[in-house]
Structure 1
Amino acid sequence: MDLPRPLNDWSKTHDGVPGIPVRQHLLAVACVAEALLRRYPRLCDRCHITSQALFFLAASHDVGKLSLDFLQKSSVWLERQGLAEKAAQGSWKTVYARPHPRISCDSLQKFLVDNRLANKKTAACWAAVVGAHHGRISKAYSSAPLILKEAERLLEEERQTCLHELWEHFGRPSLPEVSGKDDPVLWCVAGLVTLADWLGSDEHFFPPDMLLDEDALRRRAEEAVETIGLGLPVVAQGLAFAEIFAGRSPYPLQAEAAAAIDRPGIHIIEAPMGMGKTEAALWAAYHLLARGQADGIFFALPTQATSNRMFLRFADFVRRVCPQAVPAQLIHGNSWLQDELKALVCPATPGSGADPCWFNTTRRSLFAPFGVGTVDQALLAVLAVRHFALRRFALAGKVVVIDEVHTYDMYTGTLVRYLCRELEHLGCTVIILSATLTEEARCSLLSLPAGEEGRDVPYPRISGRAGSDVLPERCPPSLPDKVVHVAHPGREEALAQAVELAGQGAQILWVCNTVARAQEDFMELRQRAAAREKGPDVGLLHSRFPFYRRESLERAWMARLGPEGERTEGSILVSTQIVEQSVDLDADVLFSELAPTDMLLQRLGRLWRHPRSGRPVEAPLFCLLREGVSCEDLRQMDAAAIRAGLGEKAFVYSPYVLLRTLELWEPLEELALPSGIRGLMAATYAEKDVPPGWEALYAEDYGQDLADRRLADMGTDIWQVALDDAAALKTRLSAEDALMVLARAREGDRIALLEGGDAVMPPDGRISLAAARRLHRNTVRIPASCLSGKPQDGQLAPYHIDGCLLAGEGAMVAPLLRPGRALYWDEDLGVVIRKEER
């Protein structure tokens, strides 16, 4: 088939009309890559690649647009080239339907091999990098060479000529040989190419209808990168600890951290609650920034709630150490709801010309020099999801702090370990924080031979590895011990005791393992308190409140039980696991259901957290609610009977770990903290002979852990080319939830929200950002097990909301509610799920 020569190609359109040619767009993206390298000066050394090779790869990304598959997308172009009739007769839309990134990938691979610039393996890898600029690997590593149709052979010659011109233009660069298809350097470069393409396609800086020479393209590229605020601005030098952290002097742990964490690698800080691990990590990070050994910081926490609480502290740190940086970013799936919180750190410091709005998406926000968010955002850099490479590049060279690492199950924990290894290869400094880390977990995170669990392991401890060097351990002094009295009341006795102590002025924290149990205990405690003259306040906090209500409750109880809280009267806060981590609550007495040792120790971190005079109890008191079945009786039971005996908590935590915890804690009458933490953890998880029923539960755990680990390994196979956006790999294995809007009424397109006000859903589904925020503020997560199917609301689905619950008098109206279940709304209880007789 004859094609017109020369073939006037196009890369971008303007009002439907073909605009700039392909070669101009390729040079524009290379110019952006050049501007980016000035912001990331260590990238080439880290990736062992020359800047010219990077420019060549960036420029090659869209050479696949020199194809009929792409060019025919413009009907105007077909008419101008006199090809419209041929296209219709030849069914070009069906015949030529390859995505242009795949064509770029094939053509670059052929160019590298034919010109002997790389062996087949290396050529396939670098071609995949270029072909992944739309976020997904274009073809499998072992795919056979493409067989071209007759018409495409002419355009393949054009692509090969273009690639040769680019190669000559950038000084005939050589590409480094890669160690294998999983070489981490590949995907860091892929992220750079993708980002350069994003910016090089920004019509504000590169109009699609304006022909520009290379000098003009270079000036516009510099302007684009400068406007966004990418890269790390100048770091304030020589700051003292007190200048960064509100006049405080460093604890020994914090001083040791800065000395121990002196180079990129993987480092672990193990220390009890209240020793300032957060400040220790940030103090070490500041020194790395000041020495030019880091390009920024990402602080990763286990939940959105803990991220929100850390955000202002972190933003204040950033303002002090890097005054000209764009504001710290809050990075998690619902950060867009936190306008009031983010407004406290914006606008940027006067004098910074950067526009922080560019970072206002989860994919872009990791590029900000400083961010705090959920660990899930970092884990997406190692899962085979779209734009994983972009996230890897965004994290490369940063200090990545992973807090509360002990909280993750086998699946997420495996992903965290994989993330740590990848980040190390990308020149990052990974700082892992934990109060209750087992020796086995520590060695696994550091890729060291398994250590022996034992009571003589030092604690606190700072340990690490940098490359092949195992760093000397540092063991700063711990906090003075506090002796915690441990009681084991039954539930009825505990309820009465909590109300009595609160009536005497004590601040009580009552922690349950499930929302349903917390609701039941709250109602009982509230009733008992109301029966007393001037009875104590009783509150409830859990995850089944809509966002607006939980926000209000958290604010009120943080004001009461926080470090500066008013304590004129006693109170009882009933809650769930949400108070275990990164919550600065200070209780006089703690009541808790049985949970694994590490979770109990985390809960104990809220007990007598701060020095305080005038407490109504003489010593810290921990009341571990007695089980209905004794440990001795549980030894005689089979696995099924044990589960029944442990009740609902056996569906929340491993029954085997609960048994080992109960065996250890049941005889305890007092506990020295923090010196007792290491011994308790070791004794809970050490191998030992156990009864047959316990052995069966352990075998179930072992099998489940193997399955979860295998699932995590499969999820990190980034060469899953066939994976599409609908196959959303998860960062956590948890029960499925449905996100539902709580409404007082719904009439057609109008939703009267529970909080007050309306949200109107236009027929086209496009609502304002403010209305979308109102919707999300009124959402609550309902376990999918309550529903007989997945609800689908055509109007709400675009906002990742499954449906609408009408909350009024009595039961709520829920779509697809499973028979025998009922939902109720109560301002104090939240959403209540009840099983009812059919």
Structure 2
Amino acid sequence: MAEALLCLPTLRLRLGRLEGRSLTAVDIARIGFFAGLHDVGKAVHPFQRRLRDRSRASHTAPVWILFGSGSSPSETRRRVAASLGRRNWRTWFAAPEDQKALWDVVLAHHGSLPAECAAARSTDWEADAQTGYDPLAAVREVVKTLERMFPDAFSETVTALPASPRVLHALAGLIVLADWLGSDERRFLFPDEGGPQGTDRIRWSRETAAKLMRARWFDLSGTRRDAVRLPLDFDELFPELGAPRPSQQAILAAPAPGPGQVVVLEAETGSGKTEAALIHFLRLFQLAEVDGLYFALPTRAAAVQIHRRISETVRRWLGPNGPPVTLAVPGYLRVDDQQGQRLPDTWRVLWDDEHTSERGWAAENAKRYLSGAIIVGTIDQALLGGLRVRHAQLRSGPMLRLLLVVDEVHASDAYMTALLRNLLDQHTASGSHALLMSATLGASAREPLLRPASARVPIPRLEKAEESAYPSIQRSGEHLRPLAPDGTSRQIAVELLDSASEEDILFTRLRDAAAGGAVVLFIRNRVRDAQQAVLRLEAMGTALFRCRNVAAPHHGRFAPEDRTLLDECLERALGRGTERRGVVAVTTQTAEQSLDICADWLVTDIAPGDVLLQRIGRLHRHPENPRPDGCAEPLVSVLTPSEHALGGLLQPGGRLRRTKLPLGLGSVYDNLVAVLATRRWLAEHGEIRVPRDSRTLVERVTHDEALRTVRRHPKLGHLATDKTGPP
């Protein structure tokens, strides 16, 4: 299986770029030989006993302590190395440490290296006089089989095996994937189950691996032939949408990006970025630049909704036998429009038929989401590939085949930006592609994401950053280019409500607005506050968002089955084309972005300005909806501490005071300087014009030059009067 994966043209190209030279047939044969040794430790006596009595025993540690960092008797090391044919492969490496590194990669096929363990006992490897079983003889038999299977590995070439850290990181993930694929007992039958033996088994194994590459959608050569026939014409691709929007036109008109180029698309919410991303993917897929897509979204609710849209689009483009579209959200088992069912007390999943079972393989385990063909999921599943966690390589290695699309990148979230930059560094170094989309990306976040992690990042001055065009498109290594005007503009009135004194009035207004037919979205920063708001509103007799006739907040701490129901109910209550009834839906950040829902009135806890712009994207989103009295014009009501109270939470220099903070400030949003800057901007302007104010607001609350002023003067009194008024 490792050989089959490495022979895929896209993966072979990616690994070659990481190493700085092409991956040769000899390289692939040698890596395949070593991959075949991944389970050689199963020959030791303790593991053989485990097969009989289920006792605990490792099959990786006995080899790792011989060739890894553990210690073992030198005579045992010598005998095992001889049985492994070391004299034939030790010259494949440029340095002894490279040999150890490849062993580490091979022996980490369960997602991590073995824990530190005691030195190997020589008796583990010695022949048993009573049974006649000899572990070293079993090892030699495995090696002989591998030598017959990979004769090219033993050619006289002097080129050392790839050994750069980036290549080894990717190989670690691909060997784990090969192990999982090769463990399919339905395909790779043992001889006593009907599988062939001897040299016939080598040929049969390669043929079976090739069939599995096609069945599991790693080999998409047939699908690509169908995709090439599709014209890159918006009317043909999306006949139901009418004329293309500026973001879509920009992607259509732009030439294909070069290897490893990151594309950043900035445009307001609801401007057609999802379709632009699909056009970008189709172009790259037609050119054989990528073999698939991972569409990463900030919340599970958004992922569920976008999965349905992308699944329908792919089916329309490529038919029912096109590549599967997997939903990568833990708790769901969904591929295309099919739902799987986890069987009790097992990892097995029941699908409707064998065809769907093959299509749903990647959906059955979160660790292999990124091994799918077209995947729609949450951003955390991709970011785990850049962290030091178990099975990180199983995510990032197979992802090298894919176009990575990240929807709604935030400027104010420094932690997530740092994680994303680290992930992009490996992804783009391989020549793979990424598209980052945002309505709210400031220069302080955009510029680092367009450069390698090791590169110096020049951030433009605040004045220059505010002058940058919006909406815009930019590629790494190129200048930012403005998009054509969309012709649409929204003016959103802003009112600031004091969280200490006006909350009672607000809850009365919420009840009355729902009674008057308004659909109200109330976004809280904390789950606890959302829960308390629902209880309070219910006690007041408010018409609340309900799921199966139970009033409930929408947040991420429900059981998986309940989350699925809540997502469906929220979309029915606030989604496009639904029957509008007066209701208050109380949510957390699960409903703030990438979700196609529409509120007549938006109420929200204070948050950094870029986050608020995302939340505002749910306000009057569907212009075709009739608005009840008092909601004809869009209004966002922001629940916030007063200027004096918010400034008092900060010490000079911007550090938080040791005190209890309201509304999730200091915990959910720990950058209180950005929150204070947001409040001051909103109080001064009293409205937000989108897209005119989008760039200025984001830079004023994320650019370090602007935040330094707030840090120096956290208690600065503001002269502007807070705007208030009924919805």
Match of 2:708 in 1: 688
Match of 1:678 in 2: 695
Identity %: 27
- Please, which of 264, 276, 283 is the counterpart of residue 280 of structure 1? 276
Question: Once the two structures are superposed, what CA deviation does each residue of 1:499-529 show, in whole Å capped at 9, x if it has no partner?
Answer: 4444443332222222333344444445555
Which stretch of the first structure deviates more once superposed, 283-292 or 623-632? 623-632
**Deviation for aligned residue 1:300:** 1.2
**Deviation for aligned residue 1:349:** 14
Structure 1 SS opposite 2:270:
coil
TM-score, scaled relative to structure 1: 0.66
- Please, which of 454, 463, 469 is the counterpart of residue 458 of structure 1? 469
Give the gaps of 5 or more residues in structure 1.
1-28, 79-92, 532-536, 696-838
Equivalent residue letter for 1:115 = T
**Deviation for aligned residue 1:295:** 0.7
**Deviation for aligned residue 1:404:** 2.0
Compared with structure 1, are the counterparts of its residues 54 and 364 closer, same or farther at alpha carbon in structure 2 (3 Å cutoff)?
same
**Deviation for aligned residue 1:312:** 0.7
The 5-angstrom pairing of residues 549-698 of structure 1 reads 549=562, 551-567=564-580, 569-612=581-624, 614-615=626-627, 616=629, 617-625=631-639, 627-628=641-642, 630=644, 634=648, 643-644=659-660, 646=662, 648-654=664-670, 655-685=672-702, 686-690=706-710, 694=714
| Alignment coverage as a number of residue pairs | 638
- Please, which of 247, 256, 272 is the counterpart of residue 250 of structure 2? 256
Match of 1:89 in 2: none
Match of 2:310 in 1: 314
1:377 and 2:381 aligned: yes
- Please, which of 263, 266, 269 is the counterpart of residue 262 of structure 2? 266
Compared with structure 1, are the counterparts of its residues 471 and 293 closer, same or farther at alpha carbon in structure 2 (3 Å cutoff)?
farther
Q: What CA distance in whole angstroms lies between the structure 1 residues aligned with 2:684 and 2:113?
A: 57
Q: What CA distance in whole angstroms lies between the structure 1 residues aligned with 2:59 and 2:247?
A: 63
Structure 2 SS opposite 1:684:
helix
Q: What CA distance in whole angstroms lies between the structure 2 residues aligned with 1:356 and 1:618?
A: 47
Q: What CA distance in whole angstroms lies between the structure 2 residues aligned with 1:197 and 1:669?
A: 59
Q: What CA distance in whole angstroms lies between the structure 2 residues aligned with 1:175 and 1:387?
A: 33
Match of 1:223 in 2: 211
Match of 1:194 in 2: 176
**Deviation for aligned residue 1:194:** 3.5
Structure 1 SS opposite 2:689:
strand
Runs ≥4 residues deviating over 6 A: 64-68, 75-78, 93-97, 145-167, 346-354, 635-642
Question: Once the two structures are superposed, what CA deviation does each residue of 1:735-773 show, in whole Å capped at 9, x if it has no partner?
Answer: xxxxxxxxxxxxxxxxxxxxxxxxxxxxxxxxxxxxxxx
Give the gaps of 5 or more residues in structure 2.
69-76, 128-134, 341-348, 452-456, 544-548, 716-727
Match of 1:289 in 2: 285
1:136 and 2:112 aligned: yes
Equivalent residue letter for 1:588 = D
Structure 2 SS opposite 1:649:
coil
Question: Once the two structures are superposed, what CA deviation does each residue of 1:792-837 show, in whole Å capped at 9, x if it has no partner?
Answer: xxxxxxxxxxxxxxxxxxxxxxxxxxxxxxxxxxxxxxxxxxxxxx
Compared with structure 1, are the counterparts of its residues 125 and 669 closer, same or farther at alpha carbon in structure 2 (3 Å cutoff)?
same
Q: What CA distance in whole angstroms lies between the structure 2 residues aligned with 1:406 and 1:76?
A: 50
Q: What CA distance in whole angstroms lies between the structure 1 residues aligned with 2:51 and 2:691?
A: 73
**Deviation for aligned residue 1:290:** 1.2
**Deviation for aligned residue 1:421:** 0.9
**Contact (CA 8 Å) 1:502, 1:508: kept in 2 or not?**
yes
Structure 2 SS opposite 1:279:
helix
**Deviation for aligned residue 1:195:** 3.2
Structure 2 SS opposite 1:688:
helix
Q: What CA distance in whole angstroms lies between the structure 2 residues aligned with 1:585 and 1:530?
A: 21
Which stretch of the first structure deviates more once superposed, 434-443 or 225-234? 225-234
Structure 1 SS opposite 2:386:
coil
Structure 2 SS opposite 1:583:
coil
TM-score, scaled relative to structure 2: 0.75
**Deviation for aligned residue 1:228:** 3.3
Structure 1 SS opposite 2:223:
coil
Compared with structure 1, are the counterparts of its residues 499 and 355 closer, same or farther at alpha carbon in structure 2 (3 Å cutoff)?
closer
Compared with structure 1, are the counterparts of its residues 173 and 504 closer, same or farther at alpha carbon in structure 2 (3 Å cutoff)?
farther
Compared with structure 1, are the counterparts of its residues 434 and 177 closer, same or farther at alpha carbon in structure 2 (3 Å cutoff)?
farther
Match of 2:346 in 1: none
**Deviation for aligned residue 1:402:** 1.2
Question: Once the two structures are superposed, what CA deviation does each residue of 1:575-633 show, in whole Å capped at 9, x if it has no partner?
Answer: 32222112222222222222221221111111111223642334212222353564697
The 5-angstrom pairing of residues 395-794 of structure 1 reads 395-406=399-410, 409-447=413-451, 448-453=457-462, 454-465=465-476, 469-470=477-478, 473-478=481-486, 480-489=488-497, 490-526=502-538, 528=540, 540-543=552-555, 545-549=558-562, 551-567=564-580, 569-612=581-624, 614-615=626-627, 616=629, 617-625=631-639, 627-628=641-642, 630=644, 634=648, 643-644=659-660, 646=662, 648-654=664-670, 655-685=672-702, 686-690=706-710, 694=714
Equivalent residue letter for 1:228 = R
- Please, which of 216, 232, 240 is the counterpart of residue 247 of structure 1? 240
1:185 and 2:167 aligned: yes
**Contact (CA 8 Å) 1:228, 1:355: kept in 2 or not?**
yes
Which stretch of the first structure deviates more once superposed, 472-481 or 681-690? 472-481
Equivalent residue letter for 1:442 = R
**RMSD of aligned Cα (Å):** 4.5
Q: What CA distance in whole angstroms lies between the structure 2 residues aligned with 1:577 and 1:75?
A: 52
**Deviation for aligned residue 1:363:** 2.9
Compared with structure 1, are the counterparts of its residues 354 and 428 closer, same or farther at alpha carbon in structure 2 (3 Å cutoff)?
farther
**Contact (CA 8 Å) 2:489, 2:689: kept in 1 or not?**
yes
Higher RCO, 1 or 2 (CA under 8 Å, sep at least 6)? 2
Equivalent residue letter for 2:475 = G
Match of 2:297 in 1: 301
Compared with structure 1, are the counterparts of its residues 309 and 646 closer, same or farther at alpha carbon in structure 2 (3 Å cutoff)?
same
**Deviation for aligned residue 1:69:** 5.7
Compared with structure 1, are the counterparts of its residues 588 and 479 closer, same or farther at alpha carbon in structure 2 (3 Å cutoff)?
farther
Q: What CA distance in whole angstroms lies between the structure 1 residues aligned with 2:713 and 2:425?
A: 38
1:56 and 2:27 aligned: no
Equivalent residue letter for 1:333 = P
**Deviation for aligned residue 1:645:** 7.0
Q: What CA distance in whole angstroms lies between the structure 2 residues aligned with 1:693 and 1:138?
A: 53
Compared with structure 1, are the counterparts of its residues 687 and 632 closer, same or farther at alpha carbon in structure 2 (3 Å cutoff)?
closer
